[in-house]
Amino acid sequence: MDLIALAIAPGIAICLFIFHRDAYNKEPKLNLAVAFIFGAVAIIPAFFIERALYGGLGNSITETAIAAFLVVAFTEEIVKFVSLRYYAIPKKSFDEPLDGIVYGVMIGMGFATLENLMYVLGAQSSGNAYQVGFMRMFLAVPAHATFGVLMGYFAGKAKFDKPNSFRLLVTGIFWAVFFHGAYDFFLFLQNNPYIRDYVSNGALFIGAIVSFITGLRLSLKHIKLHRKLSQQTYKPTETMTMRTAFPHDIPLIRNLTQQIWPSTYIPILGKEQVDYMLNLMYSEKALVEQMKTTEFVIIYDGVEAIGFASYSLISAGTYKLHKLYVLPSYQGRGTGRFAIEKLATALKSKGGGILQLNVNRHNTAKSFYEKLGFVIKSEVDIPIGNGYFMNDYVMERAI
């Protein structure tokens, strides 16, 4: 019983880890259990295919590479891919790129768990079942998880990029086979009497470890990327924060402005007026003067600055939001709502009752502010020099 627990525990632990990483839009547990079972069943065709292909292969380096990359790695990754492609990807619940990794690992862990059970129980006769179990716990089983992540990462991208889906699926198979084959290649060389005359088992084992660690690091990077995408899709404001800005932040504010203003205002005002207003309002000198009477804040997603805002008290109980800008890539993700609600809460604690702002009458942001409870109070045409005007709505909401 202890050996069975030792054999299945690593795969179950990795499944739980991946399930936990899928924090924002979890897959149905039944689907994951079925994927795990499909992965375990896939070991049957893999066994017979490998057995048929092994015939006639010798101990040369070339033949060892063929055995590692084509016979074992390619066969095992293909049978796992079949379950990923024809069971997981068509599921309606497969609705975000991270799901490719989740299902890829579940299938891989089903395969690895049954394989591990066979190896551990098979080693009882030689008396080293525990040694095999512990060794595979830290290498072989996590390696299969790594291969599942690599294949699943590209499968997740393929699901939502139809024109490039075939290329992405093939890329996922390639990287899974490459790292699987590299890992096995160094292990197989330990059984080659010619190679062992020149290279020690320890050196060959280190080669396998390096291959595994390289694949593992790449896999963790892919998990992080897809998890961030999932978070941005389902809980985009969870990692957002704001802090007060100071004069030393002026270069950062100017940099953000240069990324935001052209795409926002050139279609409305034209390039000449935008260039004029940027020089008028966002030169270093202008921002220094504004900071004397206006509070600025920087908006972050994690450690990345993604926007800024400024406000001031204009009358008893009324604050004006002078600026609120976020990077184009963060627009439509709840960033503006997050900033306004955070500011409204803070200003209310200072005695504020009304939040006011101006928005260009041709700016589509007007409907965004209306959704947040702002209403139009008036229209203004503010001269800013050089024959230009700011043609705005004045909007307010209670806080």
User: CATH number of the domain that 280 lies in?
Assistant: 3.40.630.30
Percentage of residues of the chain with pLDDT beyond 90: 63
Q: Which of 48-57, 272-281, 308-317, 359-368 has the lowest mean pLDDT?
A: 48-57
Q: Which two tokens stand for residue 262?
A: 């052209």
**Which residues make Cβ contacts (< 8 Å) with residue 216, sequence separation at least 6?**
142, 146
Residues 22 and 97 in one domain: yes
- CA–CA dist 320, 282 (Å, integer): 18
Domain boundary among 192, 212, 234: 234
Give me the number of domains the chain comprises. Answer: 2
- Do 167 and 63 share a structural domain? yes
CA–CA gap between residue 260 and residue 314 (Å, rounded): 26
Same domain, 95 and 45: yes
Does residue 228 sit in the same domain as residue 269?
Answer: no
Q: Are residues 202 and 266 in the same domain?
A: no
Residues 64 and 203 in one domain: yes
Question: In the chain, what percentage of residues exceed pLDDT 70?
Answer: 93
- The overall average pLDDT reported for the chain is 89
Q: How far apart are CA 106 and CA 94, in angstroms?
A: 13
Task: Identify the band that residue 233 occupies on the pLDDT scale cut at 50, 70 and 90.
Answer: low
pLDDT of residue 178: 95
Rounded alpha-carbon distances, angstroms, from residue 227 to 17, 190, 201, 252, 376: 13, 38, 38, 27, 40
- Cα separation of 123 and 354, whole Å? 75
Q: What is the pLDDT of residue 331?
A: 87
pLDDT surpasses 80 at 24: no
Report whether 356 contacts 324 (CB < 8 A).
no
Ranking 3-12, 152-161, 172-181, 337-346 by mean pLDDT, the lowest is 3-12
Asked if 375 and 395 touch (Cβ cutoff 8 Å), the reply is yes
User: Could you tell me if 130 and 207 lie in one domain?
Assistant: yes
Same domain, 187 and 287: no
Examine the fold and report which residue of 200, 234, 268 is the final residue of a domain before the chain moves on.
Answer: 234
Residues 217 and 258 in one domain: no
Residue found by looking up tokens 């390639």 in the block? 174
Identify which has the larger pLDDT, 370 or 138: 370
Same domain, 361 and 293: yes
- Does residue 270 carry a pLDDT above 80? yes
Q: Which amino acid, residue 310?
A: S
* pLDDT tens, residue by residue, 69-108: 999 999 999 999 999 999 999 998 888 888 899 999 999 9
Q: CA 257 to CA 263: how far, in whole Å? A: 10
More confident position, 289 or 138: 289
Task: Express each pLDDT in 157-202 by its tens digit.
Answer: 898 888 899 999 999 999 999 999 999 998 888 777 666 655 656 6
Residue 371: predicted pLDDT = 93
* Cα R_g (the chain), whole angstroms: 29
Let me know whether 185 and 246 are in one domain: no
- Distance (Å, whole) CA 372 – CA 61: 67
Asked if residue 15 has pLDDT above 70, the reply is: yes
**One-letter identity of residue 66:** I
Percent composition of the chain: helix, strand, coil (DSSP 3-state, to 5) = 65, 15, 20
Structural domain containing residue 265 = 240-398
Q: What is the dihedral of CA 134, 135, 137, 141, to 10 degrees?
A: -150
pLDDT in tens, 308-338: 999 999 999 999 999 999 999 888 878 999 9
What pLDDT sits at residue 216? Answer: 81
The per-residue pLDDT for 191 is 72
Of 112, 114, 171, 101, the C-alpha closest to 143 is: 112
Q: With CA atoms as reference, report the closest residue to 156 among 78, 225, 80.
A: 225
Structure tokens at 248: 């030393």
Tell me: the pLDDT tens digits for 127-150? 888 888 888 888 888 899 999 999
Within this chain, do residues 263 and 370 fall inside the same structural domain, yes or no? yes
Of 218, 234, 250, the one marking the end of a domain is 234
Tokens representing 242 are 């704001």
Task: Provide the residue type at 120 as one letter.
Answer: V
